[in-house]
Each structure stands twice: as structure tokens, then as C-alpha cells.
Amino acid sequence: SKKEMAKNYAAGSLGEGFGLGWDIVSRSEYDEKGVKVLMKGGDTNFQHTDLVVAPDEKISIAVLSSGGSSTYCEKLAYELLDIALDEKGITVEHPEAELPVTVDSVPEEFIGYAGVYANKNIMIDISFPEGRYMLLRTLTANSNIEQKYMYTEEGSFVSVSGDVLSGNAFIDKPVEKAEFVTDNGRVFLKEIGSNVIAEKMPEVKINDDVKAKWEERKGMDYYYISGSYNDMYFIAGMSCMTLNTSDEAPGYVNSCTIIDENHAENRFAAPDSSSRDIYDIEMSVVDGNEILTLVGQNASYISERNIPEFTKDITEVKTKKGAAGWYRISGMKDETVRFDIPENAAVYVYDQYGNLKYTNFMSEYDAGIPLPDYGMIVFVGDTGATIGINR
């Protein structure tokens, strides 16, 4: 029923007003006009959508996109909803919120929230330099970044840029506010009006042997092997994963808690969609190769240490389903090759920066392919297929 559909199931929790099958079941500017609005967004890696429904007005709007994000789809859907409502004589105002007023110190009650936090992908350090502002530093990202927040008169934190200590900071636009909240004894930093940013994590003790094993893997790249020949991870250049640890977050790798030499568990548990699609890490050795498996995502990767060089004497590669064959390209500038690719197989060539330079899904794939000076090449296909290589 419309009544049950519009019920706020997030009441009393960290959720932002989600309902039975809906992400949002209430928006104040529409509520003020007596218009019940329901919204549901959805994403895959490259396809996005948003559905907005005003059931009493019999208005439904769906926006789909290839690329972008469901957030962009949502903004367009609401714009179209406003036009449709206006045609029915209902004008909804969206006044721009006033900028919050910042203060030059953080109340003492928040200083205790300093520490190491995690989201589903990385570890983050939160500190309060000189008690003047809040600083977020990523610890296990491939490229670590910082973000500053100042406290405001309204009791929240707001994202800023510039030099806070010299008084030369300014509020970022669009305005991003954050607050600390607790749920079942767990501490979260949450973006107001959106999802959890990170959860505070406990100190983890591991022995020296376990620590040394993960330190060996620090900064190591692992390449995706379990996908099919037309897997979007190969096509989009998302086929490499790096393991990162930090001395400032001992006992953690990426965003997972280290259990032993070969297992790490993701314990990020936000009560909203930000903890969706989390994974554990499992390391194993298969046929002498170190394999990283993302438990829960059915994805496996091979260590860069086990990837051979693509030498000139290689004239064919036999493929095996679920075991893509990776090779390193080194010193092959101006080398041109042609591939004989059977049905249900593919070849992908990447430069040293991970950019996809060639695949047989591109037009004129059967022409001579100039290899990059340095990079990677992967052969993917069903078991028993053979990809020929002509130089």
C-alpha cells in the first residue's frame, strides 16, 4: 500500500529516511506543499538510475545514464518533478541554505573522537590539530589525501579549504557538513544528509611474523584473473588492486582487520548503504602463484611477482576460464603485433599507467597493434581456446 511504502523505516537510526524498497520517503520542501515523494537510486559500475515517484499526484520519473552517477540522475529527476508539479499548480521552492558560521576552536568533547577510522575501502586518521579544526587523512589509499573541517555555531563540522591556523580558510562548495554519531556503542563520522564517512576502529595487536608477512605485500599490485573475457573490469581498466598498510594503522590492510598471515576481515558496519559491497581478503598459493581473493565479491587476483614478461618468442597463449593470463610489457616501443582471437576470447593491452590502449572489442582490432614501451597485456577466454600472436 502507499501508506506502508511511505513509512519511514529509518526513524531512530542513522539512516536518512529510507522506506520499504525506497532510499528516501520524505523531503521537507515537498512535505511543506503536501506532496509525498519517494525516491530510489541504483548503480552498477557504469550504469546509473534514479526513480522519483509522487504517488498521490500520479507522477513517476525515471532517469537512466551511462556514466556519471545516480546522484546526477536524482538531481535531474527532481528537476523534472518540479516541472510536472508546477503544471499541476504546485510550486516547490528550494531556497539555498545559508552558509554556517565557523568558530576557531573545537569543543573539548570532540577531541576524544580522534583516532583511526575505516570505511569499506580505506583507513582514515582523524585528528584535531591544536584543537582548532578537524583533519581527515587517508592512510591506506593509493594516493593519500587530506580534508579539513571547522566546527560551526550550529554544532556540526563543515568542510573547508585553505589555512585554518592563519585564519585564511573558506567553506567549500557545495557545502558538506559532518557530525559524530553513535549507534549500538559504535562511533561514526557521518555526512549530514548523506551516508557514513567512516567508523572508529579499535587498536589491533598482531605478532611480528604476521606483521612482517603483510609488510612484504605492502604496495604490491594484484591483477584480476577470475573474470570472463568480456568482463567490465578488463574493459574499464579496473583490473588492478593494491594492498596498502600504514604504520599509523597497525593491524589493518586497506580497510580490513588483519586476522593472521593470510586473512583480513572487513569490520566496517555502518547501518546504511555505505557498508554495502564490503569484502574480506584471503591470500593463498595456487600452482606456485600468490592469489588474492576478495571474499564476498567472487573476485581473484594474481600477484605482480608471479607475472612473466611478454617476450618475443611467445606465439600463442592458451586460455582457461577464470584464470586470465597476464604478462608484463617491457621495452617494446614501436613493436607491432596482430592477434588471432577465437570466439569467446579477448586481449587487453594497457600502458604503464593502467590506461586501456587496445582490445579486440574496439573497431579495426585486427589491424597491427603498436605495443606501449611498458605496460601489461592480458589474455582471457574460455578453457581450451588459443589466441595466436603474429609479429
- Digit-by-digit pLDDT tens for the chain (391 residues) are 566 566 655 544 555 566 778 888 888 899 999 999 999 998 887 899 999 999 999 999 999 999 888 889 999 999 999 999 999 999 999 888 789 999 999 999 999 999 999 999 999 999 999 999 999 999 999 988 999 999 999 999 999 999 999 999 999 998 999 999 998 899 999 999 888 999 999 999 999 999 999 999 999 999 999 999 999 899 887 899 999 999 999 999 999 999 999 999 999 998 877 887 899 999 999 999 999 999 988 899 999 999 999 999 999 999 999 999 999 999 998 799 999 999 999 999 999 999 999 999 887 666 688 899 999 999 999 999 999 999 8
Q: What is the per-residue pLDDT for 103? A: 96
Cβ atoms of 349 and 338 closer than 8 Å: no
Q: What is the per-residue pLDDT for 53? A: 96
> At which residue does the C-alpha cell 572508529 appear?
200
Which distant-in-sequence residues (6+ apart) come within 8 Å of 211 by Cβ? 250, 258
The structural architecture, per CATH, of the domain 307-390 is: Sandwich (2.60)
Helix or strand (DSSP H, E) at 350: strand 345-351
Closest CA to 8 of 29, 39, 30, 32: 39
Phi, psi of 6 (to 5 degrees): -95, 0
Q: What is the per-residue pLDDT for 371? A: 93
Sheet of 336-340, strands arranged across: 316-318, 386-390, 336-340, 369-370
Q: What is the per-residue pLDDT for 203? A: 94
Locate the domains of the chain by residue range: 2-88, 108-200, 208-305, 307-390
Q: What is the CATH number of domain 108-200?
A: 2.40.128
Q: What is the per-residue pLDDT for 333? A: 85
Helix or strand (DSSP H, E) at 206: none
Q: What is the per-residue pLDDT for 93? A: 92
Q: What is the per-residue pLDDT for 11? A: 47
Question: pTM of whole model > 0.75?
Answer: yes
Q: What is the per-residue pLDDT for 256? A: 98
**DSSP state, residue 310:** -
Q: What is the per-residue pLDDT for 296? A: 86
Cα 74 from Cα 33, distance rounded (Å): 20
